[in-house]
Structure 1
Amino acid sequence: MSTTADASAGRAQISARTLRTDRWWLPPLWTVIGLSAWVIYATVRVFLQNNYWVPEYHYLTPFYSPCVSLGCDPEAAMFGRFLPDWPILPFGALTLPFLLLFRMTCYYYRKAYYRSFWQSPPACAVAEPHSRYTGETRFPLLGQNLHRYFFYFAVIISVVNTIDAILAFHGEDGGFGIGLGTLVLLGNVIMLWAYTLSCHSCRSIMGGRLNHFSQHPVRYWFWTQITKLNAKHQELAWTTLGTLALTDFYVMAVAAGWFADPRIVN
């Protein structure tokens, strides 16, 4: 007979996994569907190695930025081309592993996939199916403690994405221009910065070691602003998955000629 509590603690032993009568299984199910759909889409796109660049307007999808493969369009390779052009190696392979590790070790995403994929636990007051719990004290979950270092890489990559968004203010004649794609890239990078800066590690870096905020007014101000963002970290985590997919899909559609980029200026 399975139990939900230690009998020695004087708590009741029940055979049911939970006494909850609401649809507690729905949030974990939606999380599995949402994350799985995004991972499948992103995996397919990064290995297609086409329709990632619109040279007329300097639109580069974030899934391929920075484009450093020898197979990249030379105009899209802002930092040069030095990775071999292999079908199994994405054009943006220089940064994709760090972005993946930053997301996987994110405090919110840990909660999301622990509860949904691993059911550890799937919901409050619902017993998990695992017989043992070791937390993040053993390999591979011990690697979750590297999240802060992946945050530094995420900041650098956000800078690269910002440069991409700035270069997207480009017209067909080579001068200044704004199109719908410019706004899509700009909106995406703003959301990426919001998500990255709302990270728990960023908040800790800003104020975690301060004993007297009054002696560090500048850091205290940044800590308070990041704390406000941190309260929205879960929403930003999901929003940025959406903006990344939307931005990639838009660049792909324009590059493939499915429709023309609506121009606002030039």
Structure 2
Amino acid sequence: MDMGLSGKRALVTGSSSGLGRAIAESLAAEGASVVVHGRDEVRTGAVADGIRARGGDAWAAVGDLATEGGAGAVAAAGEVDILVNNAGVYDGLAWSDLAPRQWQSIYEVNVVSGVRMIEYLVPGMRQRGWGRIIQIGGGLALQPAADQPHYNATLAARHNLTVSLARELAGTGVTSNTVAPGAILTEPVREMTYRVAAQRGWGPTWEDVEKAAATTWSPNDIGRFGRPEEVAAAVTFLAGVHAGYISGADLRVDGGAIRSVA
């Protein structure tokens, strides 16, 4: 299926590694020109170089989106047709470990940074009559855990602003949607899973560890972690021409972890 992305330009925030990298590579493979974003110049440039080496179009944009200056520098890379707000952090802290300043800090990174990019880039989409805004959310927005409450709350904010933005953009040709991954096998998740496996006696192979984790620790109906390319495929679909009748939606890519009829 041709996603119709040839001639479109996309910015994927936080795409110097992990999930964001997979999204940037998927969009580029479908013909989009991609702005790869990160805070590390070397890593960000390497991803852009890799896309170009495979015949794609890519540029690197470096900046800390949690600051006005950093966000402005990234937005200066130029107008885009597709904005994927993926950049974010999580630290796994519990209620007892958190002070109000940490709630403020993670909100600045996970929510306000995306709002900054929306304010910079969406007016151009509206003017041109076509655009896609995709937030990367997560199931913890709907079914939060006891740990990392500040992170859970930022995911909920992302889901909420997606729908509000969709309403604001009604009739403009610009859509706003969320892709909500479950446990996805990035390197940080693999490392964290191995730490939990050592505590709980899972093993000895990775296959054993992953099955145990997906059954008892982060349970889902498929019995494994998702892969970055599976989330990237969902984002690429929503970014394309076939998703023009989808706005304000929450597309869960979580193996059925979130059990909801809504």
**TM over 0.5, shorter chain:** no
Q: Which has the larger radius of gyration?
A: 1
Higher strand share: 2
Higher helix share: 1
